[in-house]
Amino acid sequence: MEHHHLHELIELEEQYWWHAAKRSLAAALLRRHFPPPGLLIEGGIGSGRNLLEFRRLGYGVAGLDIMPQAVEHVRTRGVEQVCVHDLTQDWPFAKEAARAVVMLDVLEHTPDPVEVLRHARDSLAPGGGVLITVPAYPWLYSNWDKRLGHYRRYTSRELLRQAEEAGLEVVRVTHWNAFSLAPAIVLRTWDRLRKRDRPAEFPRVSRFANALLRGAAAAERGWLTRFGVPFGLSLVGVFRK
């Protein structure tokens, strides 16, 4: 993550619909599949807002991030058990210490996602699990992804393959964020036709539009946690040790 992306996270992560919806989805799936108490480790802590939410749910929380500025910022928010660390290296936790591991839009930034998932598995107690979100559809990969540091976008089959290769049991994989898929396709197609490079940032929306998008995400979440969604701009995977 570049410095300006961290600053954007700090500015937006509390209220912006994308971040708020993803955080709420993660919380709902954690409560359903791996409820607290227990240690929750987040790989890729960003601004720390997710860790604050997970702590509020009743987990003990810890986190890893390759960016020193992110770790320093999160410590100022009262979360002490965070450190600078490359997720592809052995994680600095006791084996089988964690109830859950969360990585939200992280695996696409790593050159060796299977190795990252193996470290996550090793950190989990038996019966614990990993919650992952990743961007969907390789055919949507664009300069926007490159500027964000994405190595790839995912199909559900590829996410399943990586998790199974890492020794994790699949609980469920489904798309999410279906309501923004069509606008994203239009924007990416338009950019390609015009040979335009869109800045690697989240487009600002009005308060009214933000509220509508958060409402749409909440409605989708109620369906998704029970039945799944057949298409969407992202994938969410739940895996068990």
Residue 192: its pLDDT value, please? 75
The better pLDDT of the pair 148, 218 is held by 218
- The reported pTM is 0.93
CB 6 within 8 A of CB 70: yes
Q: What is the pLDDT of residues 69-80, one digit of tens each?
A: 999 999 999 999
| 143 CB-near residues (< 8 Å, 6+ apart) | 191, 197, 198
Spatial distance between the Cα atoms of 46 and 202, rounded to a whole number of angstroms: 15
- Please count the structural domains in the chain: 1
Q: Give residue for tokens 């090793």.
A: 122
Site of tokens 């509390």:
14
pLDDT score of 186 more than 80:
yes
Distance CA 69, CA 203 (A): 24
Among candidates 64, 63, 55, which has minimal Cα distance to 37?
A: 55
pLDDT digits (tens, 9 = 90+) for 13-59: 889 999 999 999 999 999 999 999 999 999 999 999 999 999 999 99
Examine the pLDDT at 233 and tell me if it is beyond 80: yes
Q: Which residue range is the domain that position 9 belongs to? A: 3-240
Beta strands in the chain (DSSP E): 39-43, 60-65, 82-84, 98-104, 124-135, 169-176, 234-240
Q: What is the CATH number of the domain that holds 130?
A: 3.40.50.150
H-run or E-run covering 36 = none
Is the model's pLDDT at 193 over the cut of 80?
Answer: no
Report residue 113: phi and psi, to 5°: -65, -30
